[in-house]
Structure 1
Amino acid sequence: MNDRVLRLLYVLTFLLATSCQWEQMNPKIDCSTSPVVIATLEVQASQCDSPVGSFAVAASGGEPPYTFTSAGKTNVDGIFANMEAGSYIVVATDANDCTDELSVSIENTGGVNLTEVITNNAGCGTTDGSIRVNATGGMEPYSYQINNGEVQIGNTFEGLGLGTYSVAVIDQNGCESAQSVEINSGVSYEASIKSIIENNCAISGCHNGSVSPNLTSFSTIQSRASSIKTKTGNKSMPKGSSLSQQQIDLISCWVNDGALNN
């Protein structure tokens, strides 16, 4: 046997030997016997018109540790932050290069907004007022809150007295929209206040034009409303304090409403 043949036999023997060793050191893994399973833990939609969302995934089975890849990003904790709204394919890979994948969708939800506020008057000295609010946008269902109090499911607040209230709507993403709402008494100038002024203040020898101010003019009454409220309240007006407590309260409520020509 010549040298050329011997060298060829040597090379073949070496290749066969090393091939067997490689197969023994790196046996082929059957991923179906212990598959990797990926699951979604949490998806956070874009909040309050922000174009950023996030999601978290986890893996089980196979051979830990795992790596996770999506949209060109790879990590070992399965958390993907600062993601635009859209659908993503996430791949989990274990130590044996076995993989599993799933699709995750991030919704782009805008912030919730109060679109309508409906109020009912409280009445003078009573608590018959109410506020009902309507909202759109964001992620339903909504919850509602007044004056930073207890959160409720219903969108109506009842049993309210005269005053200013802060009403808020909160969506499922924690986005909030708040608005200041005024509850008036609803006391009417034409129905209640005008006759009190005419019969008790704008009379002969008093504020009927012979004495300043002239309370026969609504514009004057309106401009002096705060003073009228104070003086009728401390009973220095009209002379002799002929007003009943109910009349005094009606004047006070009307002025608190803004002294409207209603």
Structure 2
Amino acid sequence: MKRIFVLSMLISILVAGCTKQDSTDRCAGTNYDIQFTKNPAIGGVNNGSLSIFYPRGDTLRYQLNNGAPQANPNFSGLAPGTYLIWVINQKGCSDTISTTIEAYGPKYAAVKQLIAGYCGPCHLNGGASGGKNLDTDASIVSSWDRIRLRCVNGTPTFMPQNGQLTTVDKQKITDWVNAGHRISD
């Protein structure tokens, strides 16, 4: 009788041990420092883009919002809006980060390109020469009058310091200012 009791207890313990679920989360610790570059959609067209440059690898897949995962870390033809970037590893574990593709008007896009080409390092990447930093869209838009005065009119002196902008580049600023000096212009 004791043997039957001991045997049944042993079988019960073995059966109970086999039915336990593994509570270890296979995705615990999946955490990526997702780094990317993006370009705005310009002129009301779905021409924004996004490129993930870290992490990269053959075993990783990339996804935007609820789209299909893909091996290519580059996305093009994007409409303005908010996107959730997914990086998915070979186990199906993922990490995400959110970003926004801005909607730039063609005139603003031309001015922003001029600023990127002529205004660094004095006014970009943290530079604030003369109390003016132009790292953000908001700072460019709020500085429209100073950009026009310094770069187009030369008041009190012309910017950039290494020489005046071309007539074509000055006209890009003038066109943006006259259109309303907004991101959407």
What is the TM-score when the length of structure 1 is the normalising length? 0.35
Relative to total residues, which structure has the larger helix share, 1 or 2? 2
| More relative contact order, 1 or 2 (CA 8 Å, 6+ apart) | 2
Structure number having the greater strand percentage: 1
